[in-house]
Amino acid sequence: MNPFRFWHIAWNDLRYGRWRALLMIAGVGVVVAVFFTLSSIAGGLGSVVSATPASERNLVLIDKGATDYCQGQIPEAIVETLRRYPGVARVVPMLHTALRWKGQMVLIRAIEPEAYGEMAGLRIVEGKLSQRANSVIAGEQLARQNGWQVGDTLEIGGQELKLAGIFQAGGTLNSELWTSLEDGQRLLSRGDSYSAIVIQATPDADVRTLKNRLAGSTVLARETDIGTEPEVYETMNRSFGQVTRVMNAISALALIAIAFGVYNVVGMTVAEKSHEIAVLKSIGLSANQVIGIFVQEGLIQAGLGFAVGLAAGVAALAYLNATSAVSFLSVPLTLSLTPQTALVGGALTATLTLASAWLAARRVAAMPVAEVLRGA
């Protein structure tokens, strides 16, 4: 039996009650758009750390048990030890923390800008790399957000720092302020220790072997945790795992409203069309075929609503991204609609619509044809 045999009846019925259908489509659209927005925020939050460019060929040392780059004090002596390992091309120590600037949070990375910049794909778009003391370079997004120009003097942490350049790099790096290691150690009172060390493997080295060799060192294993950049970021992201799950659950909860909307609209239509339903049944349509017509009505409305919601959701995300309107700890979240989210949203919408439309339409089966036609 072709369930879509009478789709034209469903379509014509919707055209007849177009205002009701339009309200329904708009309602579903709003819910779907909100679902996509909230899911994308959850996704953006869940990958806030991994939005930093990461390479499988880079290893990261962080303090034992540390959950972020801001914590920990890795002794300076470890840098020289690492440089002597075979297979190590470059060792880049860094300090990373957040400071307050005019009431907002600014992420500061103290680093050897040239070395790390090359690894992170940094490109200077204005000014130059800071070479002198008490100077900084700012990520393009951060500079734009605060209206900073090259040559500006920023007072941060009680020190005056000159903005030498503006850079472009991937992901969250665009929202950071970079300074030299020496300036950073003074600014952050870190003495001669680092909060993380990035190690770049030589092109011919096997990164896993190098990692195992470093992890096998008694000193390094006692004081630090070692992993590839993606592994370390993933561990940091896990800290937000439960928050992400809760936010996804809230967004999915919103979709349940669609079920009640469809139930009501289909239920009202069935109640209003009892005479027409009786006629259809009297000329030979089975109860299931008539139920199918109303389920199709629900599916068409929900499908169109989903399309509207998808478009509105994509537009809302584009706007939020363009204006960097959503940030977490000063890192603008990258909100993107993944195919998986779209599929999950579509599948949930279809399932809820099918179930609720069928529940609302099933009273067709019990409708007494003769009595309805008599107008009793």
Partner 1 sequence: MVQIAWRELVSRRRATIGLILGVGVVLLVFFAIEGLWAGVARTLSVQDTEALVVLPKDSIGLSGSLMPMSLKTTLRGIGAEVVAPQLLTTRQIRSGEPVLLRGIALDNGSVGLARIVAFEMTAGSPLERGDRDKIMLGAEVARSKGLAPGDPFRVLGKTFIVKGIFATGGISDSEVWLDLGEAQRLVRSQGFASMFSVIGPPGLGERIAKRLDVDVVKEKEVWESLTGAIASLDGVMKVASVIVAAAAVLGVMNTIFTVVHQRRREIAILRSMGFGRSSVLTYVLSQSLLIALGGFVIALAAAALLLRLMRMEAVGMTITPVLTEAGILRGLGLTLVIGVLAGLYPALRAARLNLAQTLRGE
Site for partner 1 in 170-199 (CB under 8 A): 188-190
User: CA 84, CA 108: separation in Å to the nearest integer?
Assistant: 29
- Which residues within the stretch 317-346 sit at the binding site for partner 1 (CB under 8 A)? 320, 325-330, 333
| Minimum gap (Å) between residue 256 Cβ and partner 1 | 5
Do residues 106 and 148 touch, judged by C-beta distance below 8 A?
Answer: no
Count of C-beta atoms within a 10 Å radius of residue 219: 11
What are 227's two structure tokens? 């992993």
Count of C-beta atoms within a 10 Å radius of residue 358: 17
| Minimum gap (Å) between residue 66 Cβ and partner 1 | 7
What is the three-class DSSP state of 61?
A: strand
Nearer to partner 1, 252 or 373 (CB): 252
- Which residues within the stretch 275-314 sit at the binding site for partner 1 (CB under 8 A)? none
Q: Does 253 bind partner 1 (CB under 8 A)?
A: yes
Which helix (H) or strand (E) covers residue 90, if one does? strand 88-101
CA dist list (Å): 277 to 13, 120, 155, 364: 12, 67, 76, 7
Binding residues for partner 1, rule CB under 8 A, total: 73
Closest Cα to residue 268, out of 290, 298, 289, 288? 298
| Minimum gap (Å) between residue 284 Cβ and partner 1 | 28
* Beta-bridge partner residues of 363: none
Which helix (H) or strand (E) covers residue 60, if one does? strand 58-63
| Minimum gap (Å) between residue 30 Cβ and partner 1 | 4
| Minimum gap (Å) between residue 375 Cβ and partner 1 | 16
| Minimum gap (Å) between residue 332 Cβ and partner 1 | 9
| Minimum gap (Å) between residue 128 Cβ and partner 1 | 26
- Which residues within the stretch 8-37 sit at the binding site for partner 1 (CB under 8 A)? 19-20, 23-24, 26-28, 30-31, 33-34, 37
Q: Does 51 bind partner 1 (CB under 8 A)?
A: no
Q: From the list 267, 344, 369, 372, which residue makes contact with partner 1 (rule: CB under 8 A)?
A: 267
Q: Does 375 bind partner 1 (CB under 8 A)?
A: no
Nearer to partner 1, 69 or 167 (CB): 69
- Which residues within the stretch 203-222 sit at the binding site for partner 1 (CB under 8 A)? none
Q: Does 250 bind partner 1 (CB under 8 A)?
A: yes
CA dist list (Å): 81 to 84, 96, 205, 211, 223: 6, 22, 18, 14, 13
Q: Which stretch binds partner 1 (CB under 8 A): 137-145, 200-208, 262-270, 343-351?
A: 262-270
Nearer to partner 1, 272 or 371 (CB): 272
Tokens 């470093």 locate to 214
Q: Which stretch binds partner 1 (CB under 8 A): 99-107, 145-153, 211-219, 364-372?
A: 99-107
Q: Does 238 bind partner 1 (CB under 8 A)?
A: yes
- Which residues within the stretch 109-168 sit at the binding site for partner 1 (CB under 8 A)? 156-158
- Which residues have CB under 8 Å from 150's CB, separation 6+? 126, 127, 163, 164, 165, 166
What's the angle, vertex CA 277, arms to CA 276 and CA 282, rounded to 5?
95
